[in-house]
Structure 1
Amino acid sequence: MIANLSHSGRSVPTSASVDKLFRESEIEAEYAIGWVRIAVGLALLASGLLVSSGTAELSDEYSLSRVRVTALFTVGAFLALGIVSLLLVIRHWFRPWMAFVLVTGDAAILGTSLFFGLEGIGLGGNWVAAVPTIWLVPLGLAVGALRYRPLVQVWATFVTMIALVGVVSALGFRSFQEGFGIAAFPADLKASLGRLFSLPPYLMRAVMLTLVGLTTALAMLRSRRLLMRAVSETTGRANLARFLPSEIAPLVGESDISTWRQGRRQQATILFVDIRGFTAYAEGMDPARLSIFISSFRRRVTHAAGAFGGVVDKFIGDGALLVFGIPNPQSDDCTRAVACAQELLVLLDQWNAKRGFDPPIRIGIGIHTGEVYCGLIGDDKRIEFTVLGDVVNVAAKIEQATKRFNTALLASEIVVMRSGQFSAWQEVGREPLGGRGEHLAIYAYSGTSSTG
């Protein structure tokens, strides 16, 4: 006889779960980055108002107005782009490819702001590192890490560097004296500043910024892979939990499932429980009441099993099969199985008293112990935990014998001896219940209980 735990239904594909998670994370990231763009625009507006009030004496009126126009353009562009990205998310119009367009817009705004900012005050491209707007580059790369999309980050790094190189190329490199127009500096300071804002240091800065962008992209790729692995493992365990007993699913998730599919032999105690005369009860109930009735019965079985470390291996209509000693056998498996059976009888008495069933609900319980085979069978779409062997056969026959002996609880002699409650049991017969025709002593529980 085979006892298994089988739940129909298809497991959720791991790839679909991961894809859905990343789609949701991308939308959340774009929503957050949209607010960052707006915050950057407002911060630039506030800082621009503070700084512009003290620059009048350093520039003529024309240059100052150019600087202010550039600042207003930068502020307005970031605010507009931020609002657009928020609307795309809020209106559910956002698509993954739009992220590439948005980061291209960030780079375009940055490059335009740097160009007109430097050109407005007559500085060459070698002074791009001195403009405060340049700090938007590391900020943009850092904010891009909110996404789990390395390709978008690589693209953002690429277009940002194109924008910076374009600004420098368009404005050209100028000497320190020409670009700054101040002859009062000492010669050695002029030479030092000239070297600091020359091409070689800029090449190094460009390399470092590129490395920052690529490093964040690599970090995002690693985080994405770790997240995919975590989601895959979690989804796999969740799917296994739908088909396997809760005591088995974690072990299968932590070890190689193929080991469990090979199966193993071990000692275990089997308990069968069944409602007597269930057909007569079912015929007098409408489907809704019948569903509630069965659910209530199973809830009590699950409670009793959990209270004494048993595994509900399978519900079979109005009956159930419980296993004690899974995943590893214990010296008190028989004791706990008997205690579980006694608890079931108490719960049945309480249920009858509460609901006033007429006639009262009766059950039959059979217990046996010995060596069983247990393992997993099936494929990834339908996997079953299986317990089989002569012990399972005998336990089922002992449960059926409760009808002939008109008692609620029967157990084999070995179960009674190992439970340590020999005085509470009485031998009722010896029958060839095993597969090899051996006669087995059967004992009935003589304690207070609901009789079958």
Structure 2
Amino acid sequence: MDNGKAVAPLRRRAGWVGYILRGGPRQDGIPERVRAEIRMREDSAERLIGWVQLAMVVFFAGLYSLAPRAEGADGFNFVPLALAAYFLFTVLRVGLSYRFALPAWYLVVSIIVDVALLCALIFSFHIQYGQHPTFYLKAPTLMYLFIFISLRALRFDPRFVLITGLVGVAGWLALVGYAVLTDMGDMRITRNYVEYLTSNAILIGAELDKTIIILGVTLFLSVALYRGRQVLFDSVRDHAAAEDLKRFFAPEVAHTITDSDEALTAGRGEIRNAAVMFIDIRGFTRTAAGLTPATVMQVLACYQKEMLALISAHGGRVDKFLGDGILATFGAVEPSETAAADAVRAACGLPAAVERLVPRALACGWPEPLRAGGAVTYGALTVGVVGAANRLEFTVIGNTVNRAAKLEDANKAQATRVLTDLETFEAARTQGYREAPLDLRPAREVAGIAQPVDLVVLA
């Protein structure tokens, strides 16, 4: 028991060390495609960092070339060399970032080079101005270190922010150490702030303040990014899920689900006038029973692709695939003033679409010419969410939906291919449909519908 208590803190510490070294939470359980999306965004951020740094060096080079030379700078000027070296290194890094994903070790090396060039430039000031090394401790150029630290935050990986800050602290402490340990001359350590500012004296507290500020900024940014990295993972995963939803739902439905201000719950819906179309392959179950699953699925894929194109071309949306059946809606997801006319036009195009499918279905192994029937109805229906708390479905329900299913079945008894009822056809005519029907069959009995139906044959 005592051993277990002693091991637990070690495991927690090891967990924290692993958390820091990984740059945040584990990626276990995150799909590879999501991890690939995260890597792509990180690579894009790395290119952005390179371009920002390149813009910085070009800006400062231009500014340096236009500004008059500072008075008292009689020694060798290292600034042009530092800017040229930084420019070449940055161009190399930007170029490489477009060829492949820069490995972590290269990014660490580039951070060290960035900070080393900055520290070398600061160090050169006492040579350039002929002063004691304490002179460079007062140079405002140190502030550029914060730009390097904040630039690393663009990648959203806290490890590189942390490394930049720690390397910067190490570089600054090395500069302070050199100034303190070199030949003192007229330099001395003081506690007088005025003397520190107006002479070559060193105020240890001031240098500690700079170090603490660099560490503080680094740690605060790192903690924020460690906390934000989980948000990044969740955000990318949710984005990928939302994109996947668009493949399973109509885009408008996907947006309704992902952009809803409140969590969707079963029982939410609204009544809307819309058209419904049912499509079904004739003799599918009988024929499919003698074929391999691969052949059946291949034929279904061709059929569903063709039907989806037909429905979408007329402004419809597939509500669901029902094996060889398809339930499509017009004006249900988004209100439409021409829903009935659009649905009738799509239904009239069904026979030609099926004819185009016949050669492909035969080539896939379907033993006979493909045949399909359809039906269209228009009226009030409920659009909304059904199901239970952990299993929801966005769908349409109501008598208009049931009526379309019954009319589609009636094609067999009527020896037709596409049917609608007179009410739907008249609504389509009101909405701009001008084609004449193939046939009118008033007061026909339809299985599952209590009252006789005035049928309109579209094909």
TM-score between both structures, scaled by the size of structure 1: 0.63
> Does the aligned pair in 2 maintain the 1:252–1:260 contact within 8 Å?
no
Larger Rg over CA atoms: 1
Return the letter of the residue paired with 1:347.
A
> Tell me, what secondary structure is at the counterpart of 1:426?
strand
Return the letter of the residue paired with 1:344.
L
Return the letter of the residue paired with 1:441.
V
Structure 1 residue 167, shift from structure 2 partner: 2.9
Return the letter of the residue paired with 2:282.
R
1:429 to 444, 453, 457: 444
Shift in CA distance, 14/245, structure 1 to aligned 2, threshold 3 Å: farther
Aligned to 2:395: 386
Q: Give the 5 Å matches for 1:115-134.
A: 123-129=132-138
- Inter-partner Cα distance in structure 2 for 1:427 and 1:20: 60
Return the letter of the residue paired with 2:385.
G
Return the letter of the residue paired with 1:372.
T
Aligned to 1:43: none
Shift in CA distance, 176/14, structure 1 to aligned 2, threshold 3 Å: same
Aligned to 2:280: 274
Residue 194 of structure 1 pairs with residue 198 of structure 2: yes
- Inter-partner Cα distance in structure 2 for 1:167 and 1:353: 80
2:385 to 370, 375, 382: 375
- Inter-partner Cα distance in structure 1 for 2:182 and 2:359: 98
Q: Deviations over 1:255-290 (max 9, x none)?
A: 146336433142333221112233465467666554
1:323 to 305, 314, 329: 329
> Does the aligned pair in 2 maintain the 1:413–1:440 contact within 8 Å?
no
Q: Give the 5 Å matches for 1:143-222.
A: 143-150=151-158, 152-154=160-162, 156-172=164-180, 178=186, 194=198, 199=203
1:250 to 247, 255, 260: 255
Structure 1 residue 390, shift from structure 2 partner: 3.8
- Inter-partner Cα distance in structure 2 for 1:418 and 1:36: 61
Shift in CA distance, 397/24, structure 1 to aligned 2, threshold 3 Å: closer
Aligned to 2:302: 296
Shift in CA distance, 298/21, structure 1 to aligned 2, threshold 3 Å: closer
Return the letter of the residue paired with 2:455.
Y
Return the letter of the residue paired with 2:180.
G
> Does the aligned pair in 2 maintain the 1:310–1:322 contact within 8 Å?
yes
Bigger drift between 327-336 and 268-277 goes to: 327-336
> Does the aligned pair in 1 maintain the 2:265–2:392 contact within 8 Å?
no
2:418 to 401, 409, 426: 409
Report how many aligned residue pairs link the two structures: 406
Return the letter of the residue paired with 1:251.
T
Residue 235 of structure 1 pairs with residue 240 of structure 2: yes
User: Unaligned 5+ residue runs, structure 2?
Assistant: 1-27, 57-73, 188-194
1:397 to 397, 401, 406: 406
> Does the aligned pair in 1 maintain the 2:350–2:374 contact within 8 Å?
no
- Inter-partner Cα distance in structure 2 for 1:92 and 1:310: 43
> Does the aligned pair in 1 maintain the 2:270–2:383 contact within 8 Å?
yes
Bigger drift between 329-338 and 136-145 goes to: 136-145
Structure 1 residue 249, shift from structure 2 partner: 0.6
Return the letter of the residue paired with 1:375.
V
> Does the aligned pair in 2 maintain the 1:315–1:321 contact within 8 Å?
yes
- Inter-partner Cα distance in structure 2 for 1:34 and 1:26: 12
> Does the aligned pair in 2 maintain the 1:271–1:337 contact within 8 Å?
yes
Q: Deviations over 1:174-224 (max 9, x none)?
A: 999936xxxxxxxxxxx9982598649868876876787678769968986
> Does the aligned pair in 1 maintain the 2:275–2:331 contact within 8 Å?
yes
TM-score between both structures, scaled by the size of structure 2: 0.62
TM-align CA RMSD:
6.0
Structure 1 residue 433, shift from structure 2 partner: 2.7
> Tell me, what secondary structure is at the counterpart of 1:178?
coil
Bigger drift between 311-320 and 384-393 goes to: 384-393
Aligned to 2:11: none
Q: Deviations over 1:145-179 (max 9, x none)?
A: 45323454255335523542453255239999936
User: Unaligned 5+ residue runs, structure 1?
Assistant: 1-11, 41-57, 180-190
